[in-house]
Amino acid sequence: MMTTDRQERKDAPMARGLLDYFPDALADIAHVSFVGNQQHNPGEELHWARHLSTDHADCIVRHLVDRGTIDTDGCRHSAKVAWRALALLQTEIENERAAAVPPEAFAPCEGCHSHVCESEGTCIHPWQQGKASHIVEEPF
């Protein structure tokens, strides 16, 4: 969920400051997502099965040791380092957001049997005893 503050959005130029800087690297990271989905969720729509692996820091180091080489699945170890670093950062940001919302703001969510923030329309899925949360903004 990105900020709605105009200046904050201008200060984070995603196209010019990310996509334009690293188009090849981001394509490799997207390929890691695809290959990982085929491995962990065969036949399913592309999605991040977060509960399958939450040890991002350890995985970063493991793949960093093999940087500059290709893994057995055909993906670069360096792309897997980047994917894991993004996963680690994303979950940290989501956990900060979830911690900032008071528990009384949540009620059971009928669709996913989790919780829905009545005030912001945000669905929060807790994983593994609160180690990480998945926050999805509902479509408007």
Each domain of the chain, given as residue ranges in start order, spans 6-101
Q: Tens of pLDDT along the chain (140 residues)?
A: 678 999 999 999 999 999 999 999 999 999 999 999 999 999 999 999 998 889 999 999 999 999 999 999 999 999 999 999 999 999 999 999 888 877 666 555 555 544 444 444 445 554 333 333 444 433 33
pLDDT recorded at residue 84: 98
Task: Judge whether 122 and 134 are in contact, CB under 8 Å.
Answer: no
| Helix, strand, or coil (residue 37) | helix
CA angle 30, 93, 133 (to 5 degrees): 85
Pairwise CA distance, residues 29 & 25, whole Å: 6
Task: Judge whether 121 and 107 are in contact, CB under 8 Å.
Answer: no
Element (H, E) at 135: strand 132-137
Q: What six digits make up the tokens of 30?
A: 């997207």
pLDDT recorded at residue 129: 34
Q: What six digits make up the tokens of 92?
A: 């940290």
pLDDT recorded at residue 103: 64
Pairwise CA distance, residues 12 & 9, whole Å: 5
pLDDT recorded at residue 131: 35
b vs e for 38-71, b when ≥16 Cβ sit within 10 Å of the residue's Cβ? eeeeeeeeeeeebeeebebeebbeebeeeeeeee
pLDDT recorded at residue 104: 62
C-beta neighbour count of 88 within 10 angstroms: 17
The residue length of the chain stands at 140
